[in-house]
Amino acid sequence: MFKSLVNSLSDDEFKEIVSKSYTINDVAKALGFQNAPGAKSREKIKNRIKELNISLKDINSKPIEYKRVSEYFTSKDVGLVGEKYFEFLCAKFNIVCFKPNGDNLAYDYLIESPSKKMLKIQIKTVEFLKNNRIYLRNKHGNYDRSSGSKEYNENDYDYLCIYSIEKDIMLLLNTKKSSITISTERSKNNQKDKVMYFEDYLFENIISSL
């Protein structure tokens, strides 16, 4: 006798599937449905769950799956995410900022700091951390129409802002290093020679002192 997909598994097997599922669609997929189940199949799944006195996992506890922005956009668009977040923070902390026209400068913004200094700001956007760290190759492209990438010099910008999409945090640093490592967690020996730490460079903590 033909059995529907809903009744194709034993009670224990069905319970196991439900225990790992957040929605009816999750259950249907695990049962072998190629597409979302229709109204009758959904009702069958609900009835079997009720008969076995079990329940789906709490949908509110389902972890958010972060996908790479670059899977959908270009690297330039990824950089734009950081720039727009910087503009948001400037508005939040009442910092006047100016966006120069074109892409031929070594900095992205001019700001008027709380102490009324005009500062050149470079923005870098990082998508994912590795081992709870940002590893940044801090070089610029050929804005002067030369080939290849170059290290920044002292006059290119005043401060570097780094936005972590994964952590939704912006850091503000006074550095021109070509290679930068920033960690979310302090090492056990609190090493500071080669590794910097997020908590020391949070935008909202640094900007007020400029």
Q: How confident is the model at residue 2 (pLDDT cuts 50, 70, 90)?
A: very low
Cα 172–Cα 177–Cα 182 angle in degrees, nearest 5: 55
Average pLDDT score over residue span 87-92:
94
* DSSP state at residue 91: H
More confident residue, 86 or 141: 86
**Does 23 score more than 80 pLDDT?**
yes
Average pLDDT score over residue span 30-39:
85
User: pTM above 0.85?
Assistant: no
Average pLDDT score over residue span 171-188:
83
Domains along the chain?
9-61 (no CATH), 69-209 (3.40.1350.10)
Q: How confident is the model at residue 162 (pLDDT cuts 50, 70, 90)?
A: very high
Helices marked H in the chain: 11-19, 24-31, 39-51, 75-92, 203-206
- pLDDT, position 98: 93
Average pLDDT score over residue span 177-206:
79
- pLDDT, position 1: 40
- pLDDT, position 190: 60
- pLDDT, position 61: 75
**Does 147 score more than 60 pLDDT?**
no
192-207 tens-digit pLDDT: 556 788 888 999 999 9
**Does 169 score more than 80 pLDDT?**
yes
Contact (CB, 8 A) for 202 and 160: no
Q: What is the rounded CA–CA span in Å between residue 54 and residue 52? A: 6
Q: What is the rounded CA–CA span in Å between residue 5 and residue 30? A: 10
Average pLDDT score over residue span 73-91:
87
Mean pLDDT score of the chain: 83
